[in-house]
Structure 1
């Protein structure tokens, strides 16, 4: 089984204390029925799950590989449904269970190409035909600090350019936009927008949000 990058120790430790900041563009969801079945995949402590619930979506659930983050989510919002992914990327749900899946700052936590592709295969299975996939993630940064981190990690570990290790031990990945488009090759692009975010470690960075529809 693939396990989303083998970083459970980090996300059950230092990662469980982080604050996540990718914003939800609610205008992208204005035509989604408030009773639609929505999955916040890689939900962390349930920030996006809770925000969607607060905006009237009544069938929202979250799933994450970290038991510690899921425990935090359940403490914050005991009224919502949260699942620990015991064998990621697989979710124990029937095919075509969800109308919308959100994938916020998840790919940056998966440095491996094969594991990313396995995740998208699973998301494709979970979504209904015509269902929406809303991705928000990090793109390659062009500042010297990040260029040095990318090059150092690639030279040492023979990883794709864009993979790096944070100061507190997480292995992360920033993506060329073409890499994200390739992962979405089984979907139709609906919209795309660049954004700026504050990372979980407090740095200002470039990111992108993509809305895609399952064929």
Structure 2
């Protein structure tokens, strides 16, 4: 499973053409100063960054492992700061650099539990005390199509239930909500909200958003 932490060939290929849709609940950031230092980890082409910038946040930056997605973002919004991740999950910035970190539909792209845990540890490092980690991701689906995909992958590879391969060739993970809460166990959970989203392949799926505050 170690090699599934990036799947760079997919994200530099067909993945770079996708549209990402998880909504930003701006009310969760209503108390955040517009000058707050905001990082979008796994920013893709900068959709969330653009929304935050347009909403008045003046210090927004994004990182992603895909040079192709980063280039797409720079073409769309040359005014925003994009950086390619050379050695994910490691960031080059100092500890306590950011006041808010967003992690939108990123954990689903990192099926390995240990890799997810390492990412959350790194994001905690770069968050200032009292900073916010805003996660949006997909939960386990209960429809027949997804149950069959989970079971097939678990049987073939021995992976945790919820991991599956898409028809276009990337391995993803849908999460038990208890697993997501456990990943954020070192944060104070401020908000949790269930939503429905369109996936990057056009299906409707159940998701959850969690807002954690660094202790």
Structure 1 unaligned residues grouped into runs of 5+? none
Deviant stretches of 4+, over 4 Å: none
1:120–1:14 CA distance, 2 compared to 1 (3 A): same
The equivalent of 2:100 in structure 1 is 100
Partners of 2:6 and 2:65 within 8 A in 1? no
How many Å apart are 1:4 and its aligned residue? Answer: 6.6
Partners of 1:3 and 1:115 within 8 A in 2? no
Q: Residues of 1 paired with 2:43 and 2:160: CA distance?
A: 25
SS in 2 for 1:51: helix
How many Å apart are 1:5 and its aligned residue? Answer: 1.1
Residue 115 (str. 1) matches residue 109 (str. 2):
no
Q: Residues of 2 paired with 1:42 and 1:153: CA distance?
A: 25
Equivalences for 1:34-183 in 2 at 5 Å?
34-183=34-183
SS in 1 for 2:5: coil
Structure 2 unaligned residues grouped into runs of 5+? none
Q: Residues of 2 paired with 1:134 and 1:145: CA distance?
A: 29
1:9-32 superposed Cα distances (whole Å, 9 cap, x missing partner): 000001000000000000000000
SS in 2 for 1:101: strand
How many Å apart are 1:3 and its aligned residue? Answer: 7.2
Q: TM-score, normalised by structure 1?
A: 0.98
1:164-203 superposed Cα distances (whole Å, 9 cap, x missing partner): 0000001000000000001001100000000000000000
Q: Work out the number of aligned pairs and report it.
A: 214
